[in-house]
Amino acid sequence: MLLGLSAFLVAGTAAYFSVLGIATLFSGNFYQVVVMAGALEFGKLVATSYLYRYWNQTVWVLKVYMLVAVLILMGITSLGIFGYLSAAYQVNSSKFAQVDSQIVLLTQQKESFDKEIEQINSRVDTLNKSRASQEKRLPDLSSKAAQPIYKDIERSGEEIKKLSDRSAELQQSKTEKDKEIIALNLEISKSKDIGTFKFVADAINRPLDSVVTAFICILMVVFDPLAVALILAFNIAIGGKILKESPVEEEEIVSESEIPSVPEEPSNKITLSGIKASGKLKRKD
């Protein structure tokens, strides 16, 4: 019972994914394709059972054709399963790709901010050194000669202030970008389907699409062949059960001692000696 239930459950699930996958491919006539693919799936299971039960009684041409048809239908079913699972992955993959592209863009913006901050720090350092050098010269100059230097120092101070304000703005923008990246990574972690495969892809250093494709191929190789194998196993189990429960006729050998004896019927014949004996009795009387 359990074997039969698992056989039809696996076969039905494989047929469901395959039919939807094939029908999605030809979505222009969705329901017509569903009927066609469903009939082929049912015919595949019936052909598998027939070949097992009537292999020796079937002519070789029909036997070869049905065997090839079952193998081809197994391949079609596997491709349908691959198409269905791939389409389901693409729905989530597009969302993940969009979020991932946003993370890449934010990371690039952060790198741009870091470069600009580095340039600002270098310019501020140069201005500070120049101003310090000019301030050292002031005591040796007259008030008239020192006036241009004072103006240069003032301009340097104003530029340093502007650069410092710009650096603070960039630091604030960088902090905001970090918060956005953290929020996007949290959104990816909540997506269990993609998040799990992404972890595996990062662990083995392979692209996410390659890991998911390999996983779908493994399911495709195992799914429908397992369904056909379980159908065959169910037929084998049913055949053995029928043979075991069929009654065996045994000839009963009856010994001669068991044959009932037939009682002898009393004879109605009158013998001559009996007549004489009766006559003699009458004479004595």
Segment 197-216, tens digit of pLDDT? 777 777 788 887 888 888 88
Segment-wise mean pLDDT, segments of 10 residues, the chain, 285 residues: 78 83 81 88 88 87 91 87 82 75 87 90 87 78 75 84 89 89 77 68 80 85 83 79 53 45 48 46 43
CA-to-CA dists, residue 145 to 133, 136, 142, 254, angstroms? 15, 14, 5, 149
| pLDDT score at 68 | 93
Domain boundary assignment for the chain:
2-245
